[in-house]
Amino acid sequence: MVVQPIRDRRAERREATRSEILDAAWELVRAEGLAGLSLRDLARRVGMQAPSLYSYFDSKHAIYDAMFRQGAQEYARGQALIPETGDGLVDLKVGLHFFVGFCTEDPARYQLLFQRTIPGFEPSPESYASSVEGLETLRARLAGMGLDDDALDLLTAIGTGLTDQQISNDPGGDRWTRRVDEAIEMFFAHVSLRGPATRRPATIEKVGKRR
Amino acid sequence: MVVQPIRDRRAERREATRSEILDAAWELVRAEGLAGLSLRDLARRVGMQAPSLYSYFDSKHAIYDAMFRQGAQEYARGQALIPETGDGLVDLKVGLHFFVGFCTEDPARYQLLFQRTIPGFEPSPESYASSVEGLETLRARLAGMGLDDDALDLLTAIGTGLTDQQISNDPGGDRWTRRVDEAIEMFFAHVSLRGPATRRPATIEKVGKRR
DNA sequence: GTCTATATTTGGATAGAC
DNA sequence: GTCTATCCAAATATAGAC
């Protein structure tokens, strides 16, 4: 028989309020941009005065950290839920649709998780661990298809490239997201060509101009 | 015989100071991040007090705008200087090396030109025109190779993807920049396959999770 | 053109009453 | 736990003397 642990109503209440604050914070950054999060505005949204927030979070960075953690967990959970068919091409397409969709549906979250543009903010080790989880799931799946870390790097570049162009140059549209399938076909054909032992063609030297 | 225009020494001096201020602004954003540009710091770097800057620029945004214009002109000039061999594969490689090199050598400039993360800042029409120039050059070159705007969009996604991953996850390194050649080979093989009239395979539906 | 002085706003954070 | 009051710092921008 399972012993019911004693409920701590105070702790439950506190958690509920924390969660409410975080929800409001997400709303705010979606509207004002990630850097536009201010404690005054945030407090007003939940019907508090700014100093009251300090009963729930030690600092503004602590709020960012909790948001980072939430976002990373959402990503890892979504990633884990992607069905696998065994057909590499199909699985890659579904996977990239998930990634690009996840990022473009909330650019502020994308910025927080993948771009790190908040000056002075670094996720705590625990929060960072959550973010590694999603990438590891992806790495394992690719490995199952016989693809190594080099292929992973190329794939993530394609994913962030489509995402970034979509967000920067056609927000709310689908000028780049609609090319996910084509991009995966291109990638798939490419990695299908090279076996385990491959030599790379000669490299062109970098042509750059200094200011 | 060419008539020498009368030199306006005052205007020359003024232009020199403007230029000096902009140089200092670039140094500052490279060190502190694009959003970290403050008029106090900037003034101190050129031996002025903050209000004196208003003799040269109407506002902080005007400084960003001048920087945007400079960056766009550098990009357009560099783009125009890229030699063409007529060998499509080689030309694409050289072109992407230029783009990725240009972006990664100065992430703050990349952010200003291509990502638009400064809240409230939009380049003036004249400055924006400079930025379109570079992209148009690229478009024309691709057209010369028989590649349309769809191919252009895919190529820019690859370029910004490699750039973004490099800057975000391996700053100063070459984990992604060293894959430029491979990425172009992948892209080239892909666009070589489809002729002018091509049908795309069936599309996989988007799999997304809402928060 | 450059300065000092200042207005104005806004931000994060703390002290202490209740 | 929540509030008022306040501190402190930093930012852009303006006014006016020199």
Most B CBs within 10 A among A158, A180, A185, A192, hence the mutation to make, goes to: A158
Residue A164 counted as domain residue: yes
pLDDT at residue A194 in the model? 77
Helices B125-144 & B60-81, crossing angle to 10 degrees?
20
* A19 CB and strand D closer than 7 A: no
**One domain for residues A106 and A203:** yes
Q: How far apart are CA B168 and CA B174, in angstroms?
A: 12
| Beta-carbon separation of B156 and A165 below 8 A | yes
pLDDT at residue A209 in the model? 38
Q: Centre a 10 Å sphere on the Cβ of residue A149 and count the other Cβ atoms it contains.
A: 11
**One domain for residues B76 and B173:** yes
**One domain for residues A43 and A104:** no
Q: Centre a 10 Å sphere on the Cβ of residue B177 and count the other Cβ atoms it contains.
A: 20
**One domain for residues A110 and A178:** yes
**One domain for residues B105 and B146:** yes
Nucleotides of C under 7 A from a protein CB: 1-5, 10-16
What b/e readout covers A150-175, taking b as 16+ CB neighbours within 10 angstroms? Answer: ebbbbbbbbbbbbbbbbbebeeeeee
CB contact B73 to A (< 8 Å): no
Tokens of B25: 């602004």
| CATH code (residue B44) | 1.10.10.60
Report percent pLDDT > 70 for chain B: 92
Residue A170 counted as domain residue: yes
Nearest-Cα distance to chain B for A10, in Å, is 26
**One domain for residues A110 and A13:** no
| CATH code (residue A195) | 1.10.357
Residue B201 reports pLDDT greater than 50: no
* A37 CB and strand C closer than 7 A: yes
**One domain for residues A98 and A187:** yes
**One domain for residues B40 and B74:** no
Domain count for chain A: 2
CB contact A36 to B (< 8 Å): yes
Residue B64 counted as domain residue: no
pLDDT tens for chain A, 211 residues long, are 778 878 888 899 999 999 999 999 999 999 999 999 999 999 999 999 999 999 999 999 999 999 999 999 999 999 999 999 999 999 999 999 999 999 999 999 999 999 988 988 999 999 999 999 999 999 999 999 999 999 999 999 999 999 999 999 999 999 999 999 999 999 999 999 876 444 444 455 444 433 3
Nearest-Cα distance to chain B for A21, in Å, is 15
| Beta-carbon separation of A115 and B168 below 8 A | yes
Q: Which nucleotide's C1' atom has the smallest distance to the CA of B52?
A: C2
pLDDT at residue A162 in the model? 98
Residue A63 counted as domain residue: no
**One domain for residues B77 and B166:** yes
Q: How far apart are CA B75 and CA B98, in angstroms?
A: 9
**One domain for residues A75 and A53:** no
pLDDT at residue A195 in the model? 61
Residue B194 counted as domain residue: yes
Residue A184 counted as domain residue: yes
Residue B199 reports pLDDT greater than 80: no
CB contact A90 to B (< 8 Å): yes
Which residues constitute the domain of residue B27? 1-57
Q: How far apart are CA B51 and CA B43, in angstroms?
A: 8
pLDDT at residue B117 in the model? 87
**One domain for residues A80 and A160:** yes
Residue A147 counted as domain residue: yes
Task: Note if the pTM is more than 0.85.
Answer: yes
CB contact A68 to B (< 8 Å): no
Residue A64 counted as domain residue: no
Residue B195 reports pLDDT greater than 70: no
Question: Taking a contact as any Cβ pair under 8 Å apart, which residues of chain A between 113 and 152 contact chain B?
Answer: 114-117, 119, 150
| Beta-carbon separation of A93 and B181 below 8 A | no
**One domain for residues B194 and B143:** yes
Q: How far apart are CA B185 and CA B191, in angstroms?
A: 10
